[in-house]
A and B are shown apart, each in its own frame.
Chain A
Amino acid sequence: MIDVRNVCVAYDDFEVIKGVSFSVEAGKMVFLLGANGSGKSTILKALNGSLPIAKGEILFEAKPIQKFSRLEIARRIAVVAQESETRFPITVQEFVLSGRYAFSSAFSFDTEEDLEVATWCMKLCDLSGYEARLMNQLSGGERQRAVLARAFATQAPVLILDEPTNNLDLLHQISLFQLVKERCKNSLSCAVIVTHDLNLASEFADEIVLLKKGEMIAKGEPKQVLTEENLQDAFGIKVLLDENPVSKKTRVTLICENMIGSLRERSENLRLPAQL
Chain B
Amino acid sequence: MKHSRQTFFFSPQIFGILLLVSFFVALIFAVLLGSENLRFSNLSRTEERILFDVRIPRVLLGAVVGASLAISGAGLQALLRNPLAEPYLLGVSSGAALGTAISFVVSVDLELIRPIFAFAGASLATFAVYQMAKSKAGMSVERLALSGIVVTTMLSSIIVLLTTLLDSTRLRSFTFWLLGDLSQGTKVGLYVVSFAALLGLFVMVSQARALNLMMIGERDAFDFGVEVNRVKFLVFITSSALVGVSVSASGSIGYVGLVVPHLVRLSVGSDNRYVLPFSMLAGAVFVVVADTIARVAIAPRELPVGAITAIIGAPMFIYLLKRT
Contacts and interface: CB of A to CB of B under 8 A. Distances in A.
Interface of A: 48, 50, 70-71, 73-75, 78-79, 81, 84, 86-91, 93-95, 98-99, 101-102, 104, 106-110, 112, 115-116, 119, 131-134, 154
A95 B226 CA distance: 15
Interface string B1-41: 11111111000000000000000000000000000000000
Nearest to A103: B225
B19 to A, nearest CB: 18
B273 to A, nearest CB: 6
Given A88-B215, A95-B216, A101 B83 contact: no
A91 B4 contact: yes
Nearest to B230: A70
Contact of A86 (B3, B216, B271): B216
Contacts of B5: 91, 132
Contacts of B223: 48, 50, 74, 78-79, 81
A74 B1 contact: no
Contact of B224 (A87, A110, A116, A154): A154
A70 B222 contact: yes
B307 to A, nearest CB: 29
Contacts of B266: 89
B220 interface: yes
B324 A50 contact: no
A105 B215 CA distance: 19
B269 A90 contact: yes
B64 interface: no
Nearest to A81: B219
Contacts of B227: 70-71
Interface of B: 1-8, 78, 81-83, 205-210, 212-213, 215-217, 219-220, 222-227, 265-266, 269-271, 273, 324
B81 A91 contact: no
Given A109-B273, A112-B1, A87 B81 contact: yes
Given A87-B81, A88-B265, A106-B206, 8 more contacts: A86-B216, A86-B217, A88-B215, A90-B270, A91-B5, A91-B7, A98-B220, A102-B225
Contact of A84 (B208, B210, B220): B220
B212 A98 contact: yes
B206 A133 contact: no
Given A50-B222, A70-B222, A116-B1, A133 B213 contact: no
Given A87-B81, A87-B324, A71 B225 contact: yes
B7 A133 contact: yes
Contacts of B4: 91, 93, 131-132
Contacts of A84: 216-217, 219-220
Given A70-B225, A93-B3, A101-B210, A86 B81 contact: yes
Given A86-B216, A88-B265, A132 B205 contact: no
A65 to B, nearest CB: 13
Contacts of B212: 94, 98, 101
> Which of B208, B224, B271, B324 is most buried by chain A, counting CB atoms within 10 A of its CB?
B224
A13 B246 CA distance: 47
B204 to A, nearest CB: 11
A78 B225 CA distance: 10
Given A89-B270, A102-B224, A107 B7 contact: no
Contacts of A93: 3-4
A94 B219 CA distance: 18
B208 to A, nearest CB: 8
Given A70-B226, A99-B224, A116-B1, A106 B269 contact: no
B264 to A, nearest CB: 11
B81 A89 contact: no
A75 B223 CA distance: 10
15 contacts: A73-B225, A74-B223, A81-B223, A84-B217, A88-B270, A90-B269, A94-B271, A99-B224, A101-B226, A107-B206, A115-B1, A115-B2, A132-B4, A132-B7, A133-B7
> Which of A108, A112, A132 is most buried by chain B, counting CB atoms within 10 A of its CB?
A132
Nearest to B274: A109
Nearest to A82: B219
Nearest to A130: B4
